[in-house]
């Protein structure tokens, strides 16, 4: 029973592949950009396929995976603001190409599609799964489109799709220094004061990547359908997270904050994860402990 993981070399993709392999499962890892520093390539025993979502039909028809975990996406808000078309191509077109291939050639028993808490956009938090999706900024819109397309294929074509809406992921092995935690860590490793792209007061719900992987694989196994929020239960500002990492470094440095927040950023986000908790899942790594693991890695 093979599981196809798209975006397998990413932060969450690598964690999911590691967990699947630890369970003795067969994994097909779809990789578009092969970064040798990815956690994925410290693992062994999976099938690596180099391809793009736009041409994923060949992979589906050849391997016929029974389970699919769709994590492949452009994940950065600043990139989406600079280049919305490429983000829409990756996140929106990539999703429909995959789901159409699964409709035509797949024999899947469960599909999990990763949306994001960003899909809720300007809706007031905390978000339940019934909260309206009110995105405005390009990245947020791209994730809402992913969400809607997935649920359309689920309802209209009877594909067994569950959509996950995760909070802010972090953890060891995150190679993207445009994100807050790896960016701050990279600056501190150089002995430099971290520079934030906001005033630091925006709040996010933080989720350790291995906890996100456990939740994703639980939902993949259960094939519940619908949308499910996945959050770590701890809300903190960007400045609080940065100060925590500075303290862990032992350096006497003061973070530098921007004069204003980036245009289009959502000020505050938090999730109601009651549905997931009712399934027996709970986060196992608190934010402070998770940041300590990141620093020690």
Pick the CATH number of 3-169+209-232 from 3.40.50.720, 3.40.50.150, 1.10.730.10, 1.20.1260.10: 3.40.50.720
Report in angstroms the alpha-carbon separations of 45 from 19, 40, 48, 58, 220: 12, 11, 9, 22, 20
Query: Which pLDDT value is given to residue 156?
Result: 98
- The domain spans of the chain are 3-169+209-232, 170-202+235-268+285-296
The answer to whether 38 and 14 have CB atoms below 8 angstroms apart is yes
Kindly report the CATH number that applies to the domain delimited by 170-202+235-268+285-296. 3.90.25.10
Q: What is the pTM of this model?
A: 0.96
Contacts of 111 (CB under 8 A, 6+ apart): 67, 68, 69, 70, 99, 102, 150, 159, 160, 161, 162
- Pairing state of beta strands 226-230 and 110-114? unpaired
Active site residue 139: yes
Q: Which residue has the tokens 């789901």?
A: 99
Catalytic member of 63, 105, 127, 139: 139
Alpha-carbon gap, residue 73 to 3, rounded angstroms: 18
pLDDT tens for the 297 residues of the chain, in order: 899 999 999 999 999 999 999 999 999 999 988 889 999 999 999 999 999 998 999 999 999 999 999 999 998 888 999 999 999 999 999 999 999 999 999 789 999 999 999 999 999 999 999 999 999 999 999 999 999 999 999 999 999 999 999 999 999 999 999 999 999 999 999 999 999 999 999 999 999 999 999 999 999 999 999 999 999 999 999 999 999 999 999 999 999 999 999 988 999 999 999 999 999 999 999 999 999 999 999
Place of tokens 């029973």: 1
Q: Name beta bridge partners: 169.
A: 207
By residue count, the chain amounts to 297
Cα(51)–Cα(59) distance, integer angstroms: 8
């Amino acid at each position: 029973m093979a599981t196809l993981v798209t975006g397998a070399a990413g932060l969450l993709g690598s964690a999911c592949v590691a967990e699947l392999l630890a369970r003795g499962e067969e994994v097909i890892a779809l990789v578009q950009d092969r970064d040798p520093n990815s956690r994925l390539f410290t693992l062994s025993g999976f099938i690596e396929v180099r391809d793009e979502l736009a041409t994923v039909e060949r992979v589906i028809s050849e391997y016929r995976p029974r389970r699919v975990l769709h994590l492949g996406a452009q994940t950065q808000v600043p990139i989406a603001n600079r280049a919305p078309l490429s983000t829409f191509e990756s996140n929106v077109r990539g999703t429909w190409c995959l789901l159409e291939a699964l409709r035509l050639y797949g024999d899947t028993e469960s599909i999990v599609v990763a949306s994001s808490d960003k899909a809720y956009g300007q809706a007031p938090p905390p978000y339940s799964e019934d909260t309206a999706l009110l995105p405005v900024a390009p990245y947020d819109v791209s994730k809402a489109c992913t969400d809607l397309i997935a649920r359309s294929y689920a309802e209209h074509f009877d594909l067994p799709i569950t959509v996950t809406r995760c909070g802010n992921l972090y953890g060891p092995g995150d190679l993207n220094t445009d994100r807050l935690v790896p960016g701050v860590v990279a600056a501190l490793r150089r002995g430099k004061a971290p520079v934030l792209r906001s005033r630091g007061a925006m709040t996010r719900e933080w989720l350790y990547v291995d906890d996100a992987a456990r939740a994703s694989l639980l939902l993949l196994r259960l094939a519940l359908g619908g949308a499910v929020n996945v959050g770590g239960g701890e809300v903190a500002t960007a400045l609080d997270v940065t100060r925590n990492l500075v303290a862990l470094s032992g350096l006497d440095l003061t973070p530098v904050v921007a004069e204003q927040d980036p245009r289009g950023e959502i000020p505050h986000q938090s999730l109601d994860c009651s549905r997931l908790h009712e399934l027996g899942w709970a986060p196992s790594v608190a934010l402070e402990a998770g940041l300590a693991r990141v620093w020690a890695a």
